[in-house]
Chain A
């Protein structure tokens, strides 16, 4: 996951690459397996930095050392407010939506309102690429004839909704603040890495397992077949009705996932890293 983050973060002339140079992080390389600890620290640094910048922007603080003038109660309220705001802003939907059209039988005719395959009928295409009604329509079904059909230069939409949504998507692509989207992505991935790191430091087995669960869509999306299989097997071993491990082994899998080299609380590290 960290490698995916680095691929996205340090792509071309992105901010993270710039930050790496400005803060002289020469040991950080794009290849995570070579410099794991440096990358991990850098990611933490960048995440903390952007979180603080976000707060400075919201509370209108000119420098990082400016102390806002507020009572301790107000400060606590502001802290809650700012944190909630950051999380809500960077939040990505983690649930997977499967479009219902994928579940239909393959041989269903997917075009036109009538959903019937009329042989030899002339069809017209809706200009909205995201048209949900079928994209191609029989002239008869939309009240057109070969004489009244729009010319090649003219645009045609099957409905007012398609016309409006096409307008919206056009204007949206011009108004997207790419820099902001990039920072949001960075923060989302950074925070995501941070909570996993905390779970490992505390050897919080149930949480680590839970994170494996929410990482599955990421593994599938980025074609990490090995981790998809590993994660799936791990989760299947102790959740639901299919749990097939004896209690002792289950306990071992949940709680024996980290190693504490230096002793003390909150200093566990990943077993595979050791």
Chain B
């Protein structure tokens, strides 16, 4: 489903971002 793709991309983006923030 189209919505799944957008949601999945969103989740991966979030994960990648939070991984890169120092001092979490």
Contact = CB atoms under 8 A, between A and B. Distances in A.
B1 to A, nearest CB: 9
Contact of B5 (A79, A194, A210, A240): A79
Contact of A214 (B4, B6, B8, B21): B21
B14 to A, nearest CB: 5
Contact of B4 (A79, A91, A94, A194): A79
A198 B21 contact: no
Q: Interface residues of A: mostly helix, strand, loop or mixed?
A: helix
Nearest to B9: A83
Contacts of A239: 23
Q: Interface residues of B: mostly helix, strand, loop or mixed?
A: helix
B14 A83 contact: no
B10 A194 contact: yes
B8 A191 contact: no
What is the size category of the interface that chain A forms with chain B? 20 to 34
Interface stretch (A19-27, A48-56, A171-179, A243-251): A48-56
B21 to A, nearest CB: 5
B6 A51 contact: yes
A48 B10 CA distance: 10
Given A80-B8, A192-B13, A210-B18, A52 B2 contact: yes
Contact of B12 (A64, A84, A210, A214): A84
Interface residues of B, number: 19
A53 to B, nearest CB: 11
B13 to A, nearest CB: 4
A262 interface: no
A191 B8 CA distance: 11
B8 A83 contact: yes
A79 B17 CA distance: 20
B19 to A, nearest CB: 10
Which of A80, A195, A198 has most B Cβ within 10 Å? Answer: A195
A146 B18 CA distance: 57
Interface in A81-95: 82-84, 86-87, 91, 94-95
Contact of A94 (B6, B21, B23, B24): B21
A213 interface: yes
24 contacts: A47-B6, A48-B2, A48-B6, A51-B5, A79-B5, A82-B5, A83-B11, A83-B12, A86-B9, A87-B12, A87-B16, A91-B16, A94-B17, A95-B20, A191-B9, A191-B10, A191-B13, A194-B13, A198-B10, A210-B21, A214-B20, A214-B21, A239-B23, A240-B23
